[in-house]
Structure 1
Amino acid sequence: MAELLDKPHLMEKVKKELTDVVGVNNIVEESHISKLHYLDAVVKETFRLHPPLPLLVPRCPSQSCTIGGYAIPKGSRVFLNMWSIYMDPQVWENPLEFQPDRFLNDTGNFDYMRNSFQYLPFGSGRRICPGLPLAERMVMYLLATLIHSFEWILPEGEKIDLLEKFGIVMRKSKPLYAIPYQRLPYLNLYE
């Protein structure tokens, strides 16, 4: 939400898609979610630029191996630094910029279940996040509902702060405050 409020032209693209798919006389329903391709790209780009877990759950190889020229002894604790991969200009063009369009022409490489090692917001393999199916649907549904139902305005004099606080999980260093205003034409849609 913060990235979209900071970039109104992208917020307008999401609202246009929601209007086209859902309509202004309806509320978002689960059946709409699979048709919201631009919103899906926004969510994927958000997970890339602001990964909730910058370091994936540690791995411990059962046998010694060599990866990328590095010897990894058996029993070592290995952390996969996804934040570093997501910010690597050799992997991502303009990695520090919020560009949802990079996920629009996806040929399946960036779904959450693939073994594309450049994009693993929920991990992979046997240790993939067990909450992935719920998280994927709920994030899309919640964001679609909030954007479709309301116009969001920052409090007067407020600016978006996109700085993050690093820890086991990454979060915004300052909470986002935004004021919702009715967007849909009929009050009964809010009941």
Structure 2
Amino acid sequence: MPEDAGIVIVGAGGHARVVGEAVGAGRLRGHVAPAPADDPLLGPWLGDDHAAADLAASGHRFALGIGFVDRPGSERRAAILDAWAPWPLVSVTHPTAIVSASAVVGPGAFVAAGAIIGTAAELGTGSIVNTGAVVDHDGRIGRNAHIAPGAVLSGDVLVGSGTLVGVGATVRQGVRIGRSVVIGAGAVVIGDVDDGVTALGVPARSVLPPPDR
């Protein structure tokens, strides 16, 4: 196995800049994207997706710098995760985040500034726990799920793959949220949520059809 040569950000947008800053200049080697971005938080452009094989062979690892804010975005990001599965994806945790020693953070996951990950919580591959969000004890966050800034998940909450829990939302202890769900900003979720729906309001209620379809 080649010696670790540092971390490369996948992407060049706003979320990529956030991830790049969390990685830090000491470990960041640059970014891959369809076109270069002139931003010191991303480092130099190292090529497009076709550069991945050579970069991996030389010991580079990759941090996913692509976020999402709606269901179509979640689907696009899931496809990117699938495409990058052959390459070494690493998790990134901002230095100001608090992550329990008993928590499990999957490959490609990102824990942003001020986030709190509680005892025995599990973050799936490519998941995002964004700025100031809380995943309390025994929470389980699925692959490619996004817990948006300021959202609070009480203990023993399950969030399915590809789901977005919106900005400032609150989820009661023990609630099960399905796959490909959108929980609206500021919603208060007090009961289980089925796959594929959008839930809005206080208390949150399902909206059919989802407004982003």
Superposition TM-score, scaled by structure 1 size:
0.24
Q: Which has the larger radius of gyration?
A: 1
Structure having the higher helix fraction is 1
Structure having the higher strand fraction is 2
Higher relative contact order (CA 8 A, sep 6+): 1
